[in-house]
Amino acid sequence: MVLTAQAAAQIDSAPKVHARLIAERDAVKPGGTLTVALELATRTGWHTYWINPGDAGAATEIKWTTLPEGWQAGPIQWPAPQAEAVGPLMDYGYEGKPWLLTDIAVPKDAHSQAVTLKAHASWLVCAEVCVPEDADVSVTVNVGDAALPPDPAFALARAKLPVKSPWPMRIGTVRGGSSLDLFVEAPMLASAHPAKAEFFPLTPNVIKGIAPQQLGFADNGLVLRLAPGKAFKPGAALDGVLMLTSSDGSSQALQVHALPGAVPAASFADAGGGAGMSLWLALLFAFVGGLILNLMPCVLPILAMKALSLAGHGGGVSRAAREGLAYGIGAVSSFAALGGALVALRAGGEAIGWGFQLQEPIAVAGFALLIFAVGLNLSGAFELPGFGGGDRLTHQGGAAGAFFTGVLAVAVAAPCTAPFMAAALGYALTQSAAVALAIFVALGAGFAAPFVLIGLSPRLLSLIPKPGAWMLYLKQLLAFPMYGAAVWLVWVLANEVGPDGVVWTLAAMVAFALAVWIWTASRAASPRGRGFGAFATLLALIAALAFLAMLLRAAPAPALGRVETSAIPHEPYTAARLAELRAQHRAVFVNATAAWCITCLVNERVAFSSGKVAEAFARHHVACLIADWTRRDGEITKLLEAHGRDGVPLYLYYAPGAADADVLPQILTEDEVLKAVGG
C-alpha cells in the first residue's frame, strides 16, 4: 500500500493509545464483586472500536493472564459507541478516553492478601491508517475491608452503559423489505419528540450503517427507519443499542431486543436525497425529471431528430399520433431496459449507478459510431427505411424510425442527471426491483411526454410547418449536430483511455464510412457488382468492429486527466483522504463528476472558473477533492449512495467539525458555491 506523506507521518514509534487498568475500590471482600476499567487514552484524531466495529475495524479484547484461583472475570461492558463515517463506510467506536468495564467475582473463601490482577489487552486504532496495538496491564487490590471510598469516575462510566429498555420494541419490514422500522412503543416519546435517535447493531452488516436513519413518530411511540444489510434475515430479532438524544443535549442508551411484529404508520421528516420520499412523490419527481431532461445539453442533438420527425406529419393527425406513440414506446422501453440492467447488476454486487454504460470505453465508442452513422444517414450518404426524412417521411414506415429515435434519445440522455431526477433515482435503488422499474418507467414517460403530446394534439400539431422541399435541406443541416455529438463522445473516450482509444475509434468511423460508400455505390451495378459490393461492405464493417475491439486492450487515462478541472487546487477523492482532512477539522469540498456528464462540465465553467471561487477556497482553507467517476469506481459509487444519489453531478461541502455534508444543487452557480463556503 502506498501511503500519503500525512499517513506515513502518523505511523511513528509512539503508541497511539495508552492503556491502564483501574479498580473501583482499593479492596474487595470475599464473596464480593470488584469492577475494573480498562482505560484507553487515545491520541486526538484516532479511534478504537466497539464490540461491533461496523464496516471495518476490530473490537478491543481483554485476556486475563493472572487471576487468583476461583476468581472469575465477566464480559466487557461496552459503553454506547459513536458512529464514525469514513467516506462510504461506517465505523462504531470511541475517541478520547473510553472506559471498558469488567466485573470480577471473588470467591467466598478468598484469603486476606494483596492481589495483582493482570491482563493482556489488544486493540485496533485508526485514523487515515490503522495500527494494531497491545499492552500488558495490571492493578493491585486487597482482599478485605476497603480503606478508601469508591472511585466516583466509575459512576460516570456506568452512566454511559446501555440500560434495559423500559418500553417494548418491535421490528418490521416496509417498502417490500427494502427498509426496516424499529418501533419503540412509548407514548411519552411520541409527545417528547427526542431530537435524535441512532441505532447501533450488535451483529455486523445487519443494517447498512452508512445509510441515513430516519426518525419518525407514531401516535404511541417512536419509529426509526433503517436500511437492511446483507446479514439481515427477515423474521429474526434485532439486537443492539438505541441512543436517544433530547433537545437539551442529554442522551440515554437503551438495550434493543426487538422481535418481529406490527409497526404502526409514522410520519418522517424528509432526510433529503430521496430518503424520506414516498412512492408517489418519487414517481412525480421521476416524471418531472424526465421532462426537464429534454432541456439538458446532452439531449440537444437528439432534439434535431425529433424536429425532423415532427415535421413529417404530412400523413395526417393519425400518422403523427402513431409516430408520437412509437417514439414514446421507444423512450420508455429504453429507460426500463437501462433500469432493469442497473438493478440486476447491482443485485449481483456491482458498484454502479446511473450512466454506468458510458463508464465502459467500448460502449462510448459504440455510441459515437452509432451517432456518426445517424449523421451520415441525415447527410444522404445512405437511407434507412422509415428513418431518413425527405419523401420517406410522407409515406409509411415512420413509426419504426420514431421508435428508434426514442431509443437513441435515451442512450444519449443517459449521462445527464436533471433536477428532481437524482432524488427519484436514489429512492429507486433502495426499493424492490418492481418499485425501481416503476420509477424508471415514470422517468421515461416524462422524457417522452412532450413529443407524444404534440403527436396526439391536432392543435399542437398545427403549429408545425407543413412538409415540403425545405425538409431535405433541414435534414442535411441537422446532420451536423449529430457529428458534433460524435465528436463529444470521442472526447469522452480520450478522457477514459487516452489517444490510443481515439485512434481506434476514428479508424472504426473511417471503416464504417467506407462500408457506406461501397454499399451505396454498388447498388446501381450489375448483379455481380452488387454481390462484390455486399462482400466488400461486410469486410469494411468487420474492420470497423475489429478496430472497436482494440479498445478492450487500451489502458485507462490518468484519473485527474479525465475531467474538466478549474484553477482551484485539488486532489483525487478517496474515502481515506476525506476522513483525514475532516479529522484535521479542514473544510472540504467534494466534486463528484465525470467527463461524459455534460451537466458537470457546464457547472465547471459556470460555477468554478472565476477567480472569486478560487479566492474563497484559499481564504477559508477549503480542500477540494475531485471524485472522478468517468471510469467505474466502487468507492465513488458508495459516496453517491451514502447521499441518496445514483449519478453525477454531486457537490458536497463539509464545514469544519460538521457532522455531515451540505449537499449543493445539481445545477450549480458561482453564488451558491460562494454561499456554501462562506463567501
State the pLDDT confidence band at 378, using cuts at 50, 70 and 90. confident
Compute how many other C-beta atoms are within 10 angstroms of the C-beta atom of residue 655.
19
Residue 365 in this model has a pLDDT that exceeds 90: no
Contact by Cβ (8 Å): 158, 150: no
Cell representation of residue 7: 499517513
Q: How much is the average pLDDT of 519-535? A: 83
E-strand spans in 246-402?
251-260, 267-268
What are the CA-CA distances from residue 113 to residues 66, 119, 140 (Å)?
15, 19, 10
* pLDDT (0 to 100) of residue 290: 82
Which residues touch 399 (CB under 8 Å, ≥6 apart)? 322, 323, 326, 386
What does the DSSP 8-state code read for residue 416? -
pLDDT 10s digits, 95-130 = 999 999 999 999 998 888 899 999 999 999 988 788
Contact by Cβ (8 Å): 57, 49: yes
DSSP string across 413-477:
HTT---TTHHHHHHHHTTS-HHHHHHHHHHHHHHHHHHHHHHHH-HHHHHTSPPPSTHHHHHHHH
State the pLDDT confidence band at 309, using cuts at 50, 70 and 90. low
* pLDDT (0 to 100) of residue 589: 93
What does the DSSP 8-state code read for residue 177? G
Alpha-carbon distance of 230 to 213, in angstroms, equals 17
Which residues touch 144 (CB under 8 Å, ≥6 apart)? 27, 29, 112
Residue 145, helix vs strand vs coil: coil
Q: How much is the average pLDDT of 659-672? A: 80
What are the CA-CA distances from residue 394 to residues 306, 389, 400, 459, 615 (Å)?
15, 8, 14, 20, 59
Global pTM exceeds 0.85: no
Distance of CA 329 to the CA centre of its chain: 30
Sign of CA dihedral 575, 431, 171, 270: positive
Residue 654 in this model has a pLDDT that exceeds 60: yes
Residue 9 in this model has a pLDDT that exceeds 50: no
Residue 208, helix vs strand vs coil: coil
Task: Pick 471 or 67 by higher pLDDT.
Answer: 67
Give the residue from 605, 603, 574, 576 showing the smallest Cα distance to 590.
574
State the pLDDT confidence band at 265, using cuts at 50, 70 and 90. confident
pLDDT 10s digits, 22-70 = 999 999 999 999 999 999 999 988 999 999 999 888 999 999 999 998 9
Task: Pick 195 or 184 by higher pLDDT.
Answer: 184
pLDDT 10s digits, 585-627 = 889 999 988 776 767 777 787 788 778 888 889 888 999 999 8
Cell representation of residue 659: 457532522
State the pLDDT confidence band at 379, using cuts at 50, 70 and 90. confident
Residue 307 in this model has a pLDDT that exceeds 60: no
E-strand spans in 308-358?
none
Cell representation of residue 578: 476525506
Alpha-carbon distance of 453 to 460, in angstroms, equals 8
Task: Pick 651 or 367 by higher pLDDT.
Answer: 651
Q: What are the chain's domains?
A: 5-160 (2.60.40.10), 164-268 (2.60.40), 279-553 (no CATH), 562-677 (3.40.30.10)
Distance of CA 310 to the CA centre of its chain: 38
Alpha-carbon distance of 592 to 639, in angstroms, equals 9
Which residues touch 112 (CB under 8 Å, ≥6 apart)? 142, 143, 144
